[in-house]
Structure 1
Amino acid sequence: MSKNEKIKQSEGKITPERVNVIKQEITEEMKKSFIDYAMSVITDRALPDVRDGLKPVHRRVLFAMNELGLTSGAKTRKSAAVVGEVLGNYHPHGDVAAYETMVKMAQDFVMRYPLIIGQGNWGSIDGDSAAAMRYTEAKMSKISIELLRDIEKETVNFVPNYDGTRKEPTVLPTAVPTLLLNGTLGIAVGMATNIPPHNLTEVMDAVSYLVDNKDATTEDLLQFVKGPDFPIGGIAFNQKDIAHAYANGKGGVVTRGEAEVVETKAGQSQIIITSIPFRVNKSNLITKIADLVREKKLDGIKAMRDESAKDIRIAIDLKGTAHPQTILNYIYKHTQLEEAFHYNMVALVDGIPQTLSLKDILEEFVSHRTTVIRKRTEFDLKKALEREHILLGLKKALDHIDQIIKLIRGSKDTAEAHKKLMLEFKFSTIQATAILEMKLSRLASLERKKVEDELKSAQEFIEEMKSILGNPKKILGIIKNECKEIKEKYGDLRRTKIIKGGAKIMSLEDLIPDEENALVLTAGGYIKRTNPDEFRKQKRGGVGVVDLDTKEEDFVTMLLITSTHSDLLFFTDKGKAYQTKMYDIPEGKRATKGKNVMNFLPLSEGEKITSILPMPKEVKKSEASLMMVTKMGQTKKCLAASFHDVRISGIIAIKLDAGDALVSASFVQKKDTVIIVTSKGQSIHFKESDIRETGRTAMGVRGIKLAKDDTVISAEAVPNSLDNGTLMVISANGYGKCTDIDEYKIQHRGGSGIKTAKVTPKTGQLISAKVFTNAETEIVAISKKSQVIRVDAKEIPVLGRQTQGVRVMKLREGDSIASLICL
């Protein structure tokens, strides 16, 4: 029965009667109790002290390990022993919480600068738990020593532990701003803190700058502290958002894992993820991507592997039809590969939670270091004065060494000798004690010079300590020197990239550089885009370089130079038109064959592409027309705007008679002219206005009257603005020439035309014709066996219409010219 209870006897029954019961409104009691609980959580659990950046449990773990001698140079010891020391002496809470604290302090993907070195299984970035504390071992890391440096010199206050049996520090005398270096995360009652880790080199430079410039702003300090520096790298976006967060102590910064698109030796595209955002579970990220594929929300992924070892590496194999940037965009948007880090820089300042700016945190650190260095100096001065006092006594003893030895030998005990030394030689109690604590043999062998040298050093040290205490600027100088030493000792390179602009889910076009590429198409339907510089120029008449790794009997038919952002119109021999973006065509090297065009366009069996045109910009507002010419000499003109948005399945561009095929399509402007060239060397030159604009599905009208067995090979637009234009023709056997456009008089459409080249068995039939200006200085000729030659157009002679031309390319036996391109 409680001492606060009395025995009450009534009607033969004994019942306890309660006393000292305080009546209280439950709402008032809840308010008071909740406030007490909240303050306990805020100050003793969840929030770090701004000075050393540690919560009480972290501080107690490090202090307990230091007391156990588990420094970086010592052997590791069982984690259970450390946890027992922490719980038994300093932290009266659960062992699980204490061990979890140790685990996080040892994980290099949580701590930018781990404070504990662990042996055994300490968990992983995949969320694997650490082994039980009875299996793992630990000791402090090297940088942890900097947190406890000079703690034995009365640099910080100590208070009784929870049971009053020993004392613990209220804060550590840390020489590094741990709050910024490793950051922190804590949820208290009614408030929370979330501070990212930073780079030690940058932070120490900022501290040094602040020491020299007390009026520095956060903006000034951001010259040094570029932003967060997460332990596993990644990317942080938008310097404006970063600056706002550091100036106000609150804000959001978008972070991303790093990823790149690569091509394997087999020509397959891969996305390689080499870092992930801070505090993201790698295994969960992989699972989320897999779920998106399984739910058919993300298409184009063939396989995914976690190839991580020491560093992160997630390999995502893509299907041949997939666009890597589109998939990466989707992953950023719908998974944790992109995360916002929300700054909430709250810490305890004099026991009170405050939201702090970057400058506030660094100022508090400098103030703390100033206090620590002053107390350390006072401690060292005190010890030096004590040693000086003893050395003065020893020096005095050397002057009377024989008498003192005789006095000591003649005394019956130490107390008598002590008293005689003080009476006869005027030694102080401390000096007399120091003399008596020395063995007579050592006292007799004392060397005067050694004593005097040590005394001189002690006195110089005393003057130095007094000088530091008397001059605050010297203390600040010490802080700067320590910053430099620590930076040299522990500094490393930044791991997180800082991007000036903001992160956004960009359109696919935003992700792809707007640059010129060469589009290559083969007769077998293989297509790719590549660097136009890969076609090396050669002298006229050369054999040429092999361009593509084509299949047997395949050869290049088209080579087009245009922007990666161009909308491309594909016209086929069956009179249909298709549309796609240039960047949707896969990249390839000169020696690779590319991918089949069927992967991008729904061509029917046997359908062949005959023309590829980049769409004019703002085609809807353009007055351009599209001119089409067929193998049988039919021509048709319609508005280019009618092709601005071609559906995926394609549209009809021109209706064809049986046996006819679309040969050429080109854009023309008002007042332009058109030249049609046939395989037997005929040509006709007429005004584009001779062809009336018709609807997209209409049939054409006669453009040229063909002789028996003759067919159209090319139809070229001649711009009205063109001066000194040239028509170049090339024959099957590699003969070519240039002829001035002026030699082709304007005729009416539908006639037989005039001669443009002398066609003989030696030259073979004409294969292609191109119009170019003097500004277009290079031509590319391609053979059926994939030989390519690139020469200056000026090397091709300008000859009359009725000549056969000169040899442009020396062909191997059985080879012939396939196509001609002007660059």
Structure 2
Amino acid sequence: MTIDTEGLVKETPLASALSERYLAYALSTIMSRSLPDVRDGLKPVHRRLVFAMRQLKLDPKSGFKKCARIVGDVIGKYHPHGDASVYEALVRLAQDFAVRYPLVEGQGNFGSIDGDNAAAMRYTESRMTMITQALLEGIDEGAVDFRDTYDGEEEEPIVLPGAFPNLLANGASGIAVGMATNIPPHNAGELYSAASYLIKHPQATTKDLLQFVQGPDFPTGGELVEDQELILQTYETGRGSLRLRARWEVEQGRFGTWQVVVTEIPYQVQKSKLIEQIASLMEQKKLNLLADIRDESTDEVRLVLEPKNRTIEPEVLMESLFKATPLEGRFSYNMNVLDSKAVPKVMGLKDILRAWLDHRYVVLLRRSQHRLSVLDRRLEILQGQLAVYLNLDEVIRIIREEDEVKSVLIETFKLTDLQAESILNMRLRSLRRLEEEAIRHEYDELSAERQELDALLNDESLCWKKITQELKEGHKQFGSGPLGQRRTLISGAPKVVDVVEVLEEVEREPLTVILSQKGWIKALRGHNLDLSTQKFKEGDQFQRALECQSNDRLCIFSSDGKSFNLKATDLPRGRGDGQPVRLLMDLSNDASILSLFVLDDAKKYLLVSDGGRGFITEGNNLSTDRKIGKQILNLKDDEKAIYCLSVKGDHLAIANTVGKFLIFPLDQIPELKKGAGVILQKLGKGKPKIVAIFSAEDGLLISDKSRKRSFEELKDFVGNRAGVGKKSPNWLRG
């Protein structure tokens, strides 16, 4: 009975339908795109590329073929995706600056470290490398399982035999759904040594293995500057972040001049973009120790950096560049891979090496069993052929006289069907005496090989001994010579270099900041300037001036209780009108500027509102990078801030508009980071008129027009905070 499904509609909740489909998509992305297999270190697209090149017989000793042909085979037979993405994967496998051990040998333009793209695939050619051959070794010997391709017309390997530790040697990166992977490349020779040690010492710790695997070995070199404890933690957990720097050297010039030459840049940093970023930072005056940068690279990287001043230490110049540019970066470890059961898992160094060795063990067993079956078949045939020579006349008689030759042969000489078939297929020339001797010799050799294989399959220790020998051969082939030499220098954490002090000396320039009444600001070079010659816009005039240095940080405190910060070096220069303060910071229209001063984090400041409240705060609380400022003094709707005073003294004098004067010790005022503060003086209906900080030892000076009053003269007005005070003296009523 058949059911007609045409026009059938099944109702299902949208949430359920979406979750099912998204889960299917997520699993597909994780398993078929983004995460590499721990056994061969390849993603499906790379595995299919390598396998397709093998099918095209593009071994290292053969000729090259057009990349378009290879990509066509891959997308037509194995990988139903876009040709652009497949070609990009192929190109990356051929770039010696992108992968530590290229799996593809390219001929033509395959891009550059500057970020140039490869030529179109119709122009480029490629073939496999020796490393690729090692990954494929034994694929025809039953080493791995195959599965049907997407259209069912071909077969493809689920995983490669992987005689090369490709996952750690070349690394991997990818982003899946809800997870990602980022594994750096390593030195193959070190990996072979660590794997051999792990075979002999299965209980070895990650610390033991790091005696061999020093750390990542990037194709572009560089210098890893990180503490050994952090490196150990990263390789134990499979997660972490290590610092990588460019490598550089100093070239001496004439008359004591020098320049820095960068010879290696960090991994995955494009040289052209790096130069652009450094040049941009120089234009923005953020690299004040650097005078010029030149690219003199050929096949090798050579970036020339010239200092502004030859008295600067090269280490200081480079430290400033490391802090501000991609000449130093971090490589984040996330060693997330698919294990042998296709389950995503974050593995440490030992787990990955163990998984690769276990795979090599399985491959060895499968290849041995495959070879054993081949030997058994061949030995069976040879036994039958030897029977021919022992009874040659009888065999000839049977062939000439009997109708059912094959069955008679089987019955007469107790042969198998395979043996009888091979005898009937023998040529007459094979009946020579010399051929009989060759068969006997082959039989003896294959019998000996079979005994060795049988012993290998029944003794695990012999298997590991065989794998150790394979590792030694791999180390000799790929871990030595120019290709196997370590490129990335492993150093400890760098010593701290004080760049700030040097920058201050180089950048320091005396400036005089001028602020007009209407809020226009500018900076002039020098101190002790004649400000009477300064001109302002019509209707505007001079308000205040501040002498500072070009590397100082300025603080503006406004009547709405906010603190704003400006860099003196960012202020407009010259003798023009300057620039409105409100363009440099978001000062509200109804707020005015109370104070302009050089911010000192070590100093303390007294903030006072016209409601008679206030508190003391440290200078670092007034620091902010936000253009909208930082609210420090909280005010009521009808209040405003009226004072921001530097704390230099031990007493506070406060007089108000209703004729009361009060002095009290400064230590009665609390220190706060922000808030409304405490009552300094009970005002009644008045407002603070004068607020001054002074030292009891030095006395109080209200203005230049009045004389300094000693503490003895003021003792009648001394009280406690929040008091009313006494009637103001005559010299304060003016």
Q: Is the partner of 2:147 in helix, strand or coil? A: strand
**1:377 alignment counterpart:** 368
Q: Structure 2 counterpart of 1:326, which letter?
A: V
Q: Distance in 1 between matches of 2:500 and 2:369?
A: 66
For 2:298 and 2:321, the matched residues in 1 are separated by 22
Given the alignment, which residue of 71, 78, 82 partners 1:90? 78
Pairs within 5 Å for 1:68-217: 68-217=56-205
Question: What residue in structure 2 maps to residue 494 of structure 1?
Answer: 486
- Cα distance 1:103–1:322, how it changes in 2: closer, same or farther (>3 A)? farther
C-alpha distance in structure 1 between counterparts of 2:407 and 2:17, whole Å? 66
1:33-72 map, 5 Å: 33-72=21-60
State how far apart, in whole Å, the 1-side matches of 2:254 and 2:132 are: 47
User: Percent of counterpart pairs with the same letter?
Assistant: 42
Q: Tell me whether 1:316 sits opposite 2:305 in the alignment.
A: yes
Superposition deviation, residue 291 in structure 1: 1.0
Question: Which of 273, 276, 284 pairs up with 2:273?
Answer: 284
Aligned to 1:663: none
Equivalence for 2:220: 232
SS where residue 453 of structure 1 aligns?
A: helix
Please give the secondary structure, in 2, of the residue aligned with 1:478. helix
Aligned equivalents of 2:407 and 2:420: distance in 1?
Answer: 8
Q: Which residue of 2 aligns with 1:441?
A: 429
Question: Which of 313, 325, 333 is the aligned partner of 1:335?
Answer: 325
In the TM superposition, residue 373 of structure 1 has moved relative to its aligned partner by: 0.1
Q: Distance in 2 between matches of 1:260 and 1:292?
A: 22
DSSP-derived class of the 1:71 partner: coil
Structure 2 partner of 1:391: 382
Contact 2:252 2:258 in 1 (8 A): yes
Compute the displacement of 1:410 (Å): 4.8
The letter of the residue matching 1:39 is L
Q: CA deviation at 1:27?
A: 1.8
Q: Deviations over 1:501-536 (max 9, x none)?
A: x2476225999xxxxxxxxxxxxxxxxxxxxxxxxx
Checking the alignment, whether the CA contact within 8 Å between 1:298 and 1:327 is kept in structure 2 is no
The counterpart of 2:248, out of the listed 249, 259, 266, is 259
Larger Rg computed on CA atoms: 1
Distance 1:302 1:486 in 2: 49
2:416 paired residue among 428, 433, 442? 428
Report how many residues are paired: 493
Q: Do 1:50 and 1:361's aligned partners in 2 also have CA atoms closer than 8 Å?
A: yes
SS at match of 1:50: coil
Q: Displacement of 1:113 after TM fit?
A: 0.5
SS at match of 1:138: strand
TM-superposed CA distance for 1:266, in Å, is 6.1
Matched residues in 2 for 1:195 and 1:321: separation?
41
Normalising by structure 1, we get a TM-score of 0.58
The equivalent residue for 2:553 is none
RMSD: 2.0
Distance 2:255 2:177 in 1: 57
Distance 1:147 1:321 in 2: 53
1:668-712 residue CA offsets vs partner (Å, 9 max, x unmatched): xxxxxxxxxxxxxxxxxxxxxxxxxxxxxxxxxxxxxxxxxxxxx
Cα distance in 2 between the residues matched to 1:437 and 1:448: 16
Counterpart position of 1:647: none
Q: Is the 8 A contact 2:315 2:497 kept in 1?
A: no
Report how far residue 260 of structure 1 moved. Answer: 1.9
Q: What residue identity is the alignment partner of 1:217?
A: T
Query: Aligned-pair distance for 1:445?
Result: 4.8
What is residue 729 of structure 2 aligned with on the other side?
Answer: none
Specify the alignment match of 1:297 in structure 2: 286
Partner of 1:361: 352
Pick the aligned partner of 2:14 from 19, 26, 34.
26
**Residue 206 of structure 1: CA displacement?**
0.6
For 2:153, what is the secondary structure of its paired residue? coil
Which amino acid counterpart does residue 274 of structure 1 have in structure 2? T
Q: Which amino acid aligns with 1:494?
A: R
| 1:210 Cα offset (Å) | 0.7
Contact 1:325 1:508 in 2 (8 A): no
* Structure 1 residue 29: Cα displacement: 1.5
The residue identity in structure 1 corresponding to 2:485 is L
Q: How does 1:339-350 map to 2 (within 5 A)?
A: 339-349=329-339, 350=341
1:55-113 alpha-carbon deviations (Å, 9 max, x no partner): 11111100111111011111110001100111111101111111111001000111110
2:468 is aligned, of 456, 480, 486, to 480
> Is residue 273–residue 314 contact of structure 1 (8 Å, CA) maintained in 2?
yes
- Which whole-Å deviations, capped at 9, do the CAs of 1:252-285 have from their partners, x for residues lacking one? 1001010122212464311100111111111111
After superposition, give the CA deviation of every residue in 1:321-342 in whole Å (9 maximum; x if it has no partner): 5623332222111111101111
Instruction: State the SS of the aligned residue for 1:63.
Output: helix
**Separation in 2, partners of 1:420, 1:355:** 64
Matched, 1:400 2:391: yes
Note closer, same or farther for the CA distance 1:510–1:235 as it changes in structure 2 (3 Å cut). Answer: farther
Query: How much has 1:319 moved relative to structure 2?
Result: 4.0
**Structure 2 residue identity aligned to 1:347:** V
Deviation of 1:176 after TM superposition, in Å, equals: 1.6
User: 3-state SS of the aligned residue for 1:113?
Assistant: coil
Q: Within 1, Cα distance between the matches of 2:117 and 2:427? A: 59
Match in the other structure for 1:307: 296
> Match of 2:193, as an amino acid?
D
Q: Distance in 2 between matches of 1:476 and 1:5?
A: 58
The 2-side partners of 1:447 and 1:118 are apart by 47
> For the Cα contact (< 8 Å) 1:300–1:322, is it kept in 2?
no
Give 1:183 deviation, angstroms: 0.4
Structure 1 residues 456 and 192: alpha-carbon distance in aligned structure 2, compared to 1, 3 A threshold: same
Take 1:479 and 1:442, find their aligned partners in 2: how far apart are those partners?
A: 40
Q: Is the 8 A contact 1:268 1:318 kept in 2?
A: no
Counterpart selection for 1:462 from 450, 474, 499: 450
Q: 1:228 offset after TM fit, Å? A: 0.4
Whole-Å Cα distance in 2 between the matches of residues 266 and 252 of structure 1?
A: 43
Matches of 2:217 and 2:65, distance apart in 1? 31
Please, which runs of 5 or more residues in structure 2 have no aligned partner? 503-734
Is contact 1:160–1:168 with CA below 8 Å preserved after alignment?
yes
Query: Are the aligned partners of 2:261 and 2:305 in contact in 1 as well (CA < 8 Å)?
Result: yes
Q: Following the alignment from structure 2 to structure 1, what is the Cα–Cα distance between the partners of residues 477 and 113?
A: 27
Q: Describe the superposition over 1:102-136 as per-residue Cα deviations: whole angstroms up to 9, x where unpaired.
A: 00100011111000000000011111000111110
Match of 1:522 in 2: none
Distance in 2, matches of 1:409 and 1:144, equals 54
Aligned residues of 2:41 and 2:166 also touching (Cα < 8 A): yes
